Structure 1
Amino acid sequence: MDFFEKSIIELQNQRPIFHSEDDLKLALAFNIKKNNPEFEIRLERPVQLEMINRNGKGIAVRAPIDIIVMDTSGDSYPIELKYKTRKANILHNNENYILAEHGAQDAGRYSFRKDIYRIENYKSSNLNYKYGYVLILTNDNAYFEKNVFKKDNIDKHFSFHNGVILNRSDLSWNYSKLDKSRFIFNENKVWCNIKSKEHWTCSKENFYKLDLLKDYEITWKDFSVIEKTTFKYCLIKIG
C-alpha cells in the first residue's frame, strides 16, 4: 500500500464525508503531510500541457494539478481529484453537510477521462515523475452503477461504471444522438446549430481528443455510508 492509498483508507474513518472538492483536497493533502512530514506538497500547481482538439488543432493550455507531492529524492506524484455529489443534507458529528446537486454526469464522465489524460501528459513531460493518481469520490450512483453505453447516450464512450474497461482510444462523443435537423457538421469539423453556435461538446475543454496510453480497468470501492447515503470511490494509479 502506498502513501496515497493509505491516506484514502485513513480518511474513511476520520472524514467519511466532505463539504466540497476543496474540502477533500485539503483533507488529503493534510493527511499525506501528517504521515510523511518529509514530503513537499503543492496545491493547484499550474503546468503547461499540450492538448489536441478533435479537429486536429493543437493548443497549449495552463492546467493546475490539484495536488503534487514531492519526496526527498525529488520524485513527484501528481494527483487529480473529483468530488461529484447528489443533493443531500447530512448531519455528521454535529456538523451539517449541505451537498450540492452537481448533475451533468455526461460532462463528469468526460472530465474523469480528461484527468487521466492530463496525468499521462504530465508524466511524458516530467523526468522526475514517479506515479500519478486520479481519484473520484461520489454519492451519485449514476457514475458507478449505470452503463450508459447500453443506453446509447451521447457520453456512451466515456462510461466508467464498475467493471468496465476504459478504452485507450477516444471514440468521441456519440454524435449519432444529435438531431441532424438542428445541428450540422461544418467545414471546421465542429457541430453547430443553425445560428452557428457550437454544440457544448465542441467547445473549450469538452472538445479535446483524449487518447490514452493504455486501457484502464475500472473498479469502484466503498468509502462510507452515512444516513443511508452511500459514497464510493474509484482510484486510478498511473505508473
Structure 2
Amino acid sequence: MTSIAGDTEVATVMAELITRRSVFHSEADLQHAFARTLHSLRPSVEVRLEVRQSGGEHLDLLCFGPHGRTAIEFKYFTARWDGTDPTSSEQFQLRAHAADDVARRNFIFDVARLEGFCATDPTLTNGLAIMLTNHEALWTPPSRSRPTRDQDYRIHEGRNLTGTLRWGVEGNYYTANERHLTGTYQLAWNDYTNLEGRNGQFRWLGIDIRAAR
C-alpha cells in the first residue's frame, strides 16, 4: 500500500475524491481537489502546491505531518470528452491531448524526478507519481510488437518498470530523453469513474517511490 505522509493511503484519498469530483478541467484542478480532499480526511497533514526545490524545479504537491513527508507529482492526460459531472452537475469540455507517447514519457520523467528528490532530501518519507486519464491506450498493452520510439516508456497494466529507459529505436536514440530508474515498479491501474459517452472511462495509476538508502 502507498502511504501519504505516513498517515493515509492514496487509494483512500482517491476513493473519497471520487465522491466529490468525477472529472477535472485541468491538471491544476486535479492537484487542488486532491490536496483539499487529503487535508479534509487528515487535518494533521499539511499540503503545499508548487513547492520550489533545490535546482529551481517545482514540486506539484508536498504533504507533511507528524508521521512523514510525501512529494507528489500529477499527470492528467485526456481524450476528448463532453458531458456533465454527475456528482457536481458541472459541465465539462475536455480537449484531446494527441501525443500519448509524450504522456508516457512525461509521466516517467516524474518518476525519475521523484527518485532524485527522495535520494537527495533525507526529510522525505516517499514520493508518489499519479496519472489520471481517460485515454485507453495508456493502460492497454500494445496490440503490435513492432518497435516504437516510446517502447521503453510504456506504462500499461502489468508492465515492470525499471533500469535504463531509452527513447527511440535501435540506431536512432534521443539521449536527452533517456532516464535511469533505480527502483522497480510493477504497474497496476485502478478504476476511477465511468461516465456516459465516448472516452467516459477514467482510470488512475500510482507509483510509490522510495529512496535507495
* TM-score between the two structures when normalised by the length of structure 2: 0.86
Partner in structure 2 of residue 217 of structure 1: 186
User: Structure 1 residue 68 and structure 2 residue 62: aligned?
Assistant: yes
Rate the CA distance shift 1:17–1:177 in 2: closer, same or farther, 3 A. Answer: farther
| Unpaired stretches in structure 2, ≥5 consecutive residues | none
2:156 is matched by which residue type in structure 1? H
Are the equivalent residues in 2 in contact too, given 1:153–1:177 (CA < 8 A)? no
User: Structure 1 residue 227 and structure 2 residue 196: aligned?
Assistant: yes
Q: CA deviation at 1:63?
A: 1.6
1:231 is matched by which residue type in structure 2? F
Output the CA distance in 2 between the equivalents of 1:176 and 1:26: 41
2:151 to 146, 152, 156: 156
Q: CA deviation at 1:234?
A: 0.7
Q: CA deviation at 1:168?
A: 2.0
User: Structure 1 residue 237 and structure 2 residue 197: aligned?
Assistant: no
2:169 is matched by which residue type in structure 1? Y
Question: SS state of the match for residue 80, structure 1?
Answer: strand
User: Structure 1 residue 110 and structure 2 residue 79: aligned?
Assistant: no
Deviations 1:174-208 (A, max 9, x none): 23486xxxxxxxxxxxx8xxxxxxxxx56xxxx24
Q: CA deviation at 1:148?
A: 7.5
User: Structure 1 residue 31 and structure 2 residue 37: aligned?
Assistant: yes
Output the CA distance in 1 between the equivalents of 2:33 and 2:144: 34
| Unpaired stretches in structure 1, ≥5 consecutive residues | 49-60, 179-190, 192-200
Larger Rg over CA atoms:
1
Q: Percent of aligned positions with the same letter in both sequences?
A: 25
1:11 to 6, 17, 23: 17
Output the CA distance in 1 between the equivalents of 2:143 and 2:59: 28
Give the paired residue count: 200
Q: CA deviation at 1:164?
A: 1.1
Rate the CA distance shift 1:177–1:152 in 2: closer, same or farther, 3 A. Answer: farther
User: Structure 1 residue 92 and structure 2 residue 63: aligned?
Assistant: no
Partner in structure 2 of residue 52 of structure 1: none
Q: CA deviation at 1:237?
A: 1.1
Partner in structure 1 of residue 75 of structure 2: 82
Deviations 1:129-152 (A, max 9, x none): 112111101000110014288231
Partner in structure 1 of residue 26 of structure 2: 20
* TM-score between the two structures when normalised by the length of structure 1: 0.77
Output the CA distance in 1 between the equivalents of 2:29 and 2:39: 16
